[in-house]
């Protein structure tokens, strides 16, 4: 049969029985078909695996979304999320309380509501708009401030500045007398007002008489806290409320605000006596 002519005898070598290879088909056809079939199967397997993987991830996201929104997933034990963002109660190291140790404020601070004019006070027994009687007005305290080491000289307003001058005449006596009130920035401290309604405040470290502009900075500049003096219980040192460690002292007979110095001259220049009025 023609199909047997291309096959050699099993018991003889092909060169002895005259067998010749079949040249009617291309060599390696079976191997090519086999390789192609394997490649197609591999591609199909990869596509199937990718499709299954994407489907599984979608199912996982759908199952996880209720848990993210707070819904319990069946078969799992859920725990409440601790609220660790709230700061601890009490004094916190994350913030610093403002006090006398804060950085001195600049002279460009924002303004607030103006303070009442110290020279204007409600008459005794006056009634409020609602008809209720006002409490009796407190006694006004007027003080003159005398230097410890220059007992014949007092604080005296001259050309807007506060200087240490001797008293000369009634006009000089009035400019050397001040109304002692509660501190504008700290009621435990003191502020000093003049007869015409201005306040003594430090500006550029020089004590001046200026009208209240309503700012928080002005209130701090015009507030001084009394401190003990080495010149006796009747003497006092006046420390700035917004410049801790700075005290009022006279230098060249001008009252200034300067940093504390541990020297006998500074202690004498920064010690004053608050008296009823210049003699």
Could you give phi then psi for residue 224, rounded to 5 degrees? Answer: -135, 140
Burial 29-48 (b: 16+ CB within 10 A, else e): eeeeeeeeeeeeeeeeeeee
Question: Which of 181, 226, 225 is CA-nearest to residue 199?
Answer: 181
Burial 180-198 (b: 16+ CB within 10 A, else e): ebebbbbeebbbbbbeeeb
Residue spans of alpha helices (H) in 205-279: 216-221, 264-269
Domain boundaries, the chain: 141-275
Each residue of 39-91: pLDDT tens digit? 888 888 888 888 777 665 555 544 444 444 444 444 444 444 444 333 333 33
Longest dimension (CA), the chain: 157
Determine the pLDDT at residue 200: 97
Residues 257/202, Cβ–Cβ less than 8 Å = yes
Percent of the chain scored above 70 by pLDDT?
58
Is the per-residue pLDDT at 92 higher than 50?
no
Model confidence at 30, in pLDDT bands (50, 70, 90)?
A: confident
Model confidence at 235, in pLDDT bands (50, 70, 90)?
A: very high
Q: How many Å apart are CA 114 and CA 241, to the nearest integer?
A: 19
Determine the pLDDT at residue 17: 57
Model confidence at 243, in pLDDT bands (50, 70, 90)?
A: very high
Is the per-residue pLDDT at 94 higher than 70?
no
Each residue of 95-139: pLDDT tens digit? 333 333 343 444 344 444 444 454 444 444 444 444 444 544 556
Distance of CA 206 to the CA centre of its chain: 30
How deeply is 266 buried, as exposed, middle or buried, from its count of CB atoms within 10 A (0-12, 13-18, 19+)? middle
How many CB atoms within 10 Å of residue 261?
13
Q: How many Å apart are CA 163 and CA 144, to the nearest integer?
A: 13
Determine the pLDDT at residue 239: 97
Q: How many Å apart are CA 58 and CA 9, to the nearest integer?
A: 64
Determine the pLDDT at residue 169: 80
Distance of CA 266 to the CA centre of its chain: 36
Each residue of 149-199: pLDDT tens digit? 999 999 999 999 999 999 888 778 889 999 999 999 999 999 999 999 999
Q: Which fold has domain 141-275?
A: Trefoil (Acidic Fibroblast Growth Factor, subunit A) (2.80.10)
Determine the pLDDT at residue 62: 47
Determine the pLDDT at residue 113: 44
- Signed CA dihedral, 124, 128, 131, 137: sign only: negative
- Sorted by sequence, the CB contacts under 8 Å of residue 254 that are 6+ apart come out as 161, 162, 163, 164, 206
Distance of CA 205 to the CA centre of its chain: 27
Better-scored residue on pLDDT, 29 or 56 = 29
């Amino acid at each position: 049969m023609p199909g047997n002519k291309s096959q050699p005898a099993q018991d003889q070598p092909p060169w002895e029985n005259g067998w010749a290879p079949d040249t009617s088909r291309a060599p390696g056809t079976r191997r090519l078909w086999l390789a192609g079939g394997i490649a197609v199967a591999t591609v199909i397997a990869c596509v199937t695996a990718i499709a299954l993987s994407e489907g599984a991830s979608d199912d996982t996201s759908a199952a996880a979304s209720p848990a993210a929104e707070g819904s319990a997933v069946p078969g799992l034990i859920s725990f409440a999320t601790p609220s660790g963002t709230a700061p601890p109660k009490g004094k916190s190291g994350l913030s610093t309380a403002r006090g006398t140790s804060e950085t001195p404020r600049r002279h460009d601070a924002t303004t607030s509501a103006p303070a009442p004019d110290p020279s204007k006070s409600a008459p005794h027994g006056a009634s409020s708009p609602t008809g209720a009687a006002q409490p009796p007005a407190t006694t006004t305290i007027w003080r003159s401030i005398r230097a410890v080491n220059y007992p014949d000289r007092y604080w005296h307003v001259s050309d807007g500045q506060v200087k240490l001058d001797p008293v000369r005449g009634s006009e000089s006596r009035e400019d050397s007398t001040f109304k002692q009130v509660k501190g504008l920035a700290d009621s435990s401290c003191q502020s000093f007002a003049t007869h015409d309604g201005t306040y003594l405040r430090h500006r550029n470290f020089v004590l001046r008489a200026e009208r209240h502009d309503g700012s928080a900075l002005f209130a701090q500049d015009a507030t001084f806290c009394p401190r003990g003096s080495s010149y006796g219980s009747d003497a006092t040192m006046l420390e700035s409320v917004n410049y801790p460690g700075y005290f009022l002292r006279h230098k060249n007979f001008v009252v200034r605000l300067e940093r504390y110095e541990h020297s006998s001259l500074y202690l004498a220049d920064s010690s004053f006596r608050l008296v009823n009025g210049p003699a």
